[in-house]
């Protein structure tokens, strides 16, 4: 995580040295924006498990999530930006229903995911140095985990899809930097496939969450040679 934050800071510093920092209007057509947000959320889930030995539906447990979301976008039209972003998610969770059909107590776990996907925002300026915006994001990711059961290595394949939408508010400075706050509703769907002792099990989990995040963005109007 520290390396990711340092890389983002260095990227913004390099862009600052190569770009025109004085903007008459940060969200005008042809401008770029680069930056990142840090957020936190809690969530409840439901689960539906289908296997050759039966099905289980019920409480999918609860989770608390920390996320870091760097990205870069381009204003294709006045106040309208489209870009690409990365989400690093660190999740602490507690299971709900016993997925093996038993009565085991909830288990705690921790995992990390990296997602990539597009984002879209439309800004509603309320003055020369501030604006409301409405945005949406889509993230895709895959992961593979292995564990040993009865001296046999088992593999779990996971796929994750997230969709988020929500309003935000940003305040600009004259040098192109901006501070923003965002409230976002997130829907996530994860699919997991595992084979244990010749029993194939597919697990689908749906998660609904609302998170609050803050971030720093840098708006610039084009590239030019760095000053010597």
Q: What is the pLDDT of residues 42-63, one digit of tens each?
A: 777 666 666 666 666 666 667 7
Count the domains in the chain.
Answer: 1
The number of beta carbons lying within 10 Å of the beta carbon of residue 18 is 14
What is the average pLDDT across 204-224?
82
pTM: 0.70
- Does residue 2 sit within a domain? no
Structural domain boundaries, residue 55: 30-220
C-alpha to C-alpha distance for 215 and 70, rounded to whole angstroms:
9
104, 96 contact by CB (below 8 A): no
141, 113 contact by CB (below 8 A): yes
What is the average pLDDT across 177-200?
82
What is the average pLDDT across 192-219?
80
What is the model's pLDDT at position 189?
85
- Does residue 9 sit within a domain? no
- Does residue 209 sit within a domain? yes
What is the average pLDDT across 11-31?
62
Partners of residue 153 on adjacent β-strands: 148
C-alpha to C-alpha distance for 125 and 123, rounded to whole angstroms:
6
What is the average pLDDT across 144-162?
68
Residue 192 confidence (pLDDT) above 90 = no
Average pLDDT, the chain: 77
- Does residue 213 sit within a domain? yes
- Does residue 11 sit within a domain? no
Percent of the chain whose predicted confidence (pLDDT) is above 90: 33
Q: What angle do CA 34, 39, 44 make, to 5 degrees?
A: 135
Residue 19 confidence (pLDDT) above 50 = no
- Does residue 176 sit within a domain? yes
Q: What is the CATH number of the domain that holds 62?
A: 2.40.160.20
C-alpha to C-alpha distance for 27 and 145, rounded to whole angstroms:
42
What is the model's pLDDT at position 197?
62
Greater confidence (181 vs 160) lies with 181
What is the average pLDDT across 112-129?
91
- Does residue 8 sit within a domain? no
Q: What angle do CA 44, 206, 200 make, to 5 degrees?
A: 120
161, 205 contact by CB (below 8 A): no
The number of beta carbons lying within 10 Å of the beta carbon of residue 82 is 13
What is the average pLDDT across 105-134?
85
- Does residue 188 sit within a domain? yes
């Amino acid at each position: 995580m520290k390396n990711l934050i340092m890389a983002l800071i260095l990227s913004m510093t390099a862009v600052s040295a190569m770009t025109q920092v004085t903007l008459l209007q940060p969200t005008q057509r042809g401008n770029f924006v680069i930056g990142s947000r840090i957020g936190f959320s809690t969530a409840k889930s439901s689960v539906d498990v289908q296997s050759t030995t039966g099905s289980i539906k019920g409480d999918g447990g609860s989770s608390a999530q920390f996320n870091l979301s760097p990205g870069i976008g381009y204003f294709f039209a006045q106040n309208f930006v489209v870009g690409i972003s990365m989400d690093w998610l660190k999740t602490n969770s507690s299971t709900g229903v016993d997925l093996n059909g038993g009565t085991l107590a909830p288990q705690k776990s921790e995992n990390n995911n990296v997602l990539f996907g597009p984002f879209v925002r439309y800004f509603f300026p309320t003055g020369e140095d501030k604006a409301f915006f409405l945005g949406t994001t889509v993230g895709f990711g895959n992961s593979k985990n292995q564990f040993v059961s009865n001296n046999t290595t088992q593999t779990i394949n996971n796929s994750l899809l997230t969709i988020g939408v929500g309003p935000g508010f940003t305040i600009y400075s004259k040098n192109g930097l901006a501070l923003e706050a965002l409230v976002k509703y997130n829907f996530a769907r994860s699919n997991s496939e595992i084979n244990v002792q010749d029993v194939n099990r597919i697990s689908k989990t749906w998660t609904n969450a609302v998170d609050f995040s803050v971030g720093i963005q840098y708006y610039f109007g084009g590239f030019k040679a760095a000053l010597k």
